[in-house]
Structure 1
Amino acid sequence: MNINKKAKILISMIINPLFLLIYFITWYNLYKLCMYGKSNVNIMILSLCIIFLIVWFIIYLYKVLKDKNEVEILVKEKEQKYELENKILKYDVHMINEKTKKESILKSVWSYLAIFILVGTTLFYGAEIYSSAVKYNGKLSWFLEELFNKKTVDFTHNNIYDDGVEGILSDIREKVDMPEDLYMSKNFVVNFKEDGTITSFDTFLYGNDEKKQLKSFLISYDYEKSNNITIYLNGDVNDDYSKDKSLDPFIETMKVVNLKNDVNKWPGEDKYEVSYSGKRNFEYSQEGIEYIDSNGNMKNDKYVSSNMTGYIVSLYIPGKESEYCPIRYNMVRDLENISEGLNVNYQSDEGLEKYFLSDDEGYELLITGSSLGSRSYSLYGTYNGGETWNIINEDPFNGDMGTADGMTFINEKLGFLSLSKSGGEYGVLYKTGDGGNSYTKVEIPTRNISLINGKCYNPFVFPKIPYEENGVLYLTVGQGSMGDYNNGVVGLYESKDYGETWEFVREMNEER
């Protein structure tokens, strides 16, 4: 059978009114399924429609195969008919039946109309189904979300006494790549039995992977529903990367606390709970505070001579907090110097910049004032790993205000500070050669770029923190929040005289 014959059979079948009706009903119910999810009626109708379409296709194949077998007979009959007609030389075109012509016109009109209905139905409901696949628009989007972003992992490290929080993360990392540095968008809450068996937990974590791309993890577990941990990847998250929400203090605290010993103070309860919210504040008269150092040594001090601020891990019995006072663990460096550590190390919840040259020697910027979104700072230093801090420079920016954007020390004398101005539109770099006692502005050569109108401008206005490689200092200077030159490239500068003078090297992408 030739292709034209097959096409005619196919067209005659798809423009059939019954086929069009079933085709429309199929698309409609498929759309309802994708947008709103399945219902018994919807599934039944869709199943019947699919069966009909399959039968219709089988009929099409049958007709094609049947016509193929009969083609030789038809050819012979047409040849005989042709010979017979050739014997009749007279042919009157006026004998054409007008009724046949009208039927042919109506058939053509219906064919075009049917094809229009077919294409229109496909495009309209195809677009609607596509819309249902867009995030949060319909049931299909949630199905795809689970298909591509839902992971389940076996929960084997399920005893909080033996495995702590690290056990949970260890099981997850068996199947899911997670960044080392994680932050919380939601509190981390763990429920467990008296013997330490974890019964449920949930949290929302995020962090940057090795390519500096944001990754998020909505994590939950409930032993009554499943033996597996459920993780949803790549959800929308408020990624402010606040140090106050770092997960590390929770992990480190859980390594050293004797949770089982404290749970034994409240025997016979059905459920116990540990929660971590990041950095928190408590009044100094708050009961239940337990200070703990990295060796697991503990000290109870109900009346610290300062408000307590720290990365608090709380242990309590859910619903019985008024009956049993929660225990709140606060890890500190020195149990004998709690008050001083609190007064200095936790003066500011934000805007804090720290840099340690060694385990003992470090520097810290603290906010001393603010006005219209800009801040002033003081520089502190420590020589005993942060046990005590002493002021080095009351005003390292020499009266200038903004937002501290970074700090580094190349050695004990040479260091740099970066100050963001006007909401990040530009920045200023400061240099010290005497260990932070005094700072001066760094002069960076301008890089003049020609515009179409003949004028020039310098796109590189936001200096970052310098770094050292093989005795040479390098500095990247960005374009600030308003820059749009050459797809956001930065300027690379170098200094061979310890930051006294700088020379432009080249343009480069921001990652070095």
Structure 2
Amino acid sequence: MIYIFRGNIKRVLISLLTNPIFIIGYWIFGHELASICRYGRMNNNLYILLLSIVLLFSIILFTTIKMIKESDHKLKNLTNLKSWKYISIIIFAAITLLYGVNIYKSATNYGGKLAWYIERLKNERSVKFEHNNIYNYGVKGIFEDINKEHTLPQELYMVNNFSLEFNSDGKITSFDTFVYGKNGDGKEESYLITFDKNKSKNITLILNGYAGPTYNVDKLVEPLVKTVSVIPIKQKVSEWNENQYGLVYYGKRNWGYNTNGIINIDEDGKEYSPEVATSEIIGYTVSIFIPGKEKMITPARYNLIGDPNWSKPSTTQNQAKSNEKKNELKNTKEQFYLSKDVGFKLNVTDKALGSTFYSLSKTMDGEKTWTVINNDPFSGTIGSASGIVFLDD
């Protein structure tokens, strides 16, 4: 019985490999699968892939039934052309090798959509967003929701900033930040945290990104949480009577002697507005503003007072200015550096009807030479770039 079963399998395989329709269907299947792995779903390739699968399954089913019913004599008559048998096997192996290599490349080194999909499976997490009203929970609720499923480091630092938008009823509509820190074992962890109510009801976490950690205390997250908890946000925005509001935090900032919009607030929520600054105003500032109207209506810039370490800079003034100048030269709206040598930038190639078209270049030697690595980084999408950020190479 075992011999007969194996014999039937062998007969089916030989019949399939020598069937020109099966070979063509297999070629279409490999081509479309490799295309999806590299470029994703486009130009109806998913439907063609599904049709090719149906075709292959039908041929396999038909051939299996036919082989069971046919005698060995009839089988020999079907496969007596040895030259075609060898040619078909070579064609089948070539198709498998060609598209197998293409699929492998799409899955490694960010060579295609498949690599990004695998990356998301490995590092992307979704967290239920329950504390989604800034009036009731501040921003502390965001981190509480995340900590339910992923324990964050106790001391968190930002890479750039924390930005958030909310409606007049306090419902948070979007926010994003990139934070890092060391866990209890001393291992560094990073989290790209984003939320957009138009895309998902959950918070999205992307783990293990390249944060370029400096552990600069000017970028601590804790002052953000504490300051927002005492700001009378609902009362403040009610003065503006708008539908949408924003909150932004860059860490410790030096406002010089400019008191415009500055509000010092203590841990009990008592506010102090400095009419005249006798010294430079330095603090962990949380700004509340109206998106798009920052120039017309001055944002409310809250500095929490009470902790002496929060009222003085952690670096010298000259060092802070030097770092600020360096960041202005390196990371801008159209370019982003991973290190002093490795950087990327968007080049304007054309403009039309208010839209801008770009190519993407990369340098490996600190701007000495640039190489175009993508002539259409936005895949045909028109508009204007609002920023460029890379987590790693």
Distance across 1 between alignment mates of 2:97 and 2:289: 58
Cα distance per residue 1:462-482 (max 9 Å; x no partner): xxxxxxxxxxxxxxxxxxxxx
Q: TM-score of the superposition, structure 1-length normalised?
A: 0.55
| Corresponding residue SS for 1:7 | helix
Counterpart selection for 1:150 from 100, 121, 124: 124
> Do the aligned residues in 1 keep the contact of 2:15 with 2:63 (CA within 8 Å)?
no
Distance across 1 between alignment mates of 2:61 and 2:287: 68
Distance across 2 between alignment mates of 1:148 and 1:62: 42
Counterpart selection for 1:348 from 313, 316, 320: 316
The residue that corresponds to 1:38 in the other structure is 41
Distance across 1 between alignment mates of 2:28 and 2:310: 72
Q: Do residues 325 (structure 1) and 295 (structure 2) align? A: no
Distance across 2 between alignment mates of 1:152 and 1:2: 48
The residue that corresponds to 1:203 in the other structure is 177
Q: Work out which structure has the larger RCO, using CA pairs closer than 8 Å and 6 or more positions apart in sequence.
A: 2
1:235-254 correspondence to structure 2 within 5 Å: 235-254=209-228
Cα distance per residue 1:259-318 (max 9 Å; x no partner): 23322332x211121110112221213311122233333322243333222211111112
1:98-497 correspondence to structure 2 within 5 Å: 107-134=81-108, 136-266=110-240, 268-333=241-306, 342=311, 346=314, 348=316
The residue that corresponds to 1:432 in the other structure is none
Distance across 2 between alignment mates of 1:224 and 1:108: 61
Q: Per the alignment, do residues 264 and 45 of structure 1 end up closer, same or farther by CA in structure 2, a change over 3 Å counting?
A: closer
> Do the aligned residues in 2 keep the contact of 1:189 with 1:276 (CA within 8 Å)?
yes
Aligned-residue Cα RMSD (Å) equals 3.0
Cα distance per residue 1:119-144 (max 9 Å; x no partner): 22212211211221225321222333
Q: Per the alignment, do residues 8 and 65 of structure 1 end up closer, same or farther by CA in structure 2, a change over 3 Å counting?
A: closer
Question: What is the identity, as a one-letter code, of the residue corresponding to 2:56?
Answer: L
Identity %: 39
> Do the aligned residues in 2 keep the contact of 1:165 with 1:251 (CA within 8 Å)?
yes
> Do the aligned residues in 2 keep the contact of 1:244 with 1:349 (CA within 8 Å)?
no
Question: What is the identity, as a one-letter code, of the residue corresponding to 1:330?
Answer: N
By how many angstroms is 1:346 displaced?
Answer: 4.4
Q: Per the alignment, do residues 22 and 326 of structure 1 end up closer, same or farther by CA in structure 2, a change over 3 Å counting?
A: same
**Structure with more strand by fraction:** 1
By how many angstroms is 1:218 displaced?
Answer: 2.2
Distance across 2 between alignment mates of 1:121 and 1:234: 36
Distance across 1 between alignment mates of 2:247 and 2:303: 13
Question: What is the identity, as a one-letter code, of the residue corresponding to 1:195?
Answer: D
The residue that corresponds to 2:328 in the other structure is none
Counterpart selection for 2:28 from 25, 29, 46: 25
| Corresponding residue SS for 1:30 | helix
Could you list the structure 1 runs, at least 4 aligned residues long, displaced by more than 4 angstroms after superposition: 344-347, 349-352
By how many angstroms is 1:351 displaced?
Answer: 9.1
**Aligned pair count?**
313
Question: What is the identity, as a one-letter code, of the residue corresponding to 2:250?
Answer: S
Q: TM-score of the superposition, structure 2-length normalised?
A: 0.71
Give the gaps of 5 or more residues in structure 2: 321-393
Question: What is the identity, as a one-letter code, of the residue corresponding to 1:110?
Answer: W
Which structure has the greater CA radius of gyration?
1
Q: Per the alignment, do residues 135 and 241 of structure 1 end up closer, same or farther by CA in structure 2, a change over 3 Å counting?
A: farther
Q: Do residues 65 (structure 1) and 46 (structure 2) align? A: no
Give the gaps of 5 or more residues in structure 1: 75-99, 353-512
Distance across 1 between alignment mates of 2:155 and 2:317: 19
Distance across 1 between alignment mates of 2:60 and 2:40: 28
Question: What is the identity, as a one-letter code, of the residue corresponding to 1:348?
Answer: T
Question: What is the identity, as a one-letter code, of the residue corresponding to 2:248?
Answer: S
Cα distance per residue 1:401-426 (max 9 Å; x no partner): xxxxxxxxxxxxxxxxxxxxxxxxxx
Counterpart selection for 2:50 from 44, 47, 50: 47
Cα distance per residue 1:182-241 (max 9 Å; x no partner): 221232112122332222212222223333333332222233443322223333333333
> Do the aligned residues in 2 keep the contact of 1:310 with 1:346 (CA within 8 Å)?
no
1:57-96 correspondence to structure 2 within 5 Å: 57-67=60-70
> Do the aligned residues in 1 keep the contact of 2:8 with 2:68 (CA within 8 Å)?
no
Distance across 2 between alignment mates of 1:242 and 1:341: 13
Distance across 2 between alignment mates of 1:333 and 1:239: 28
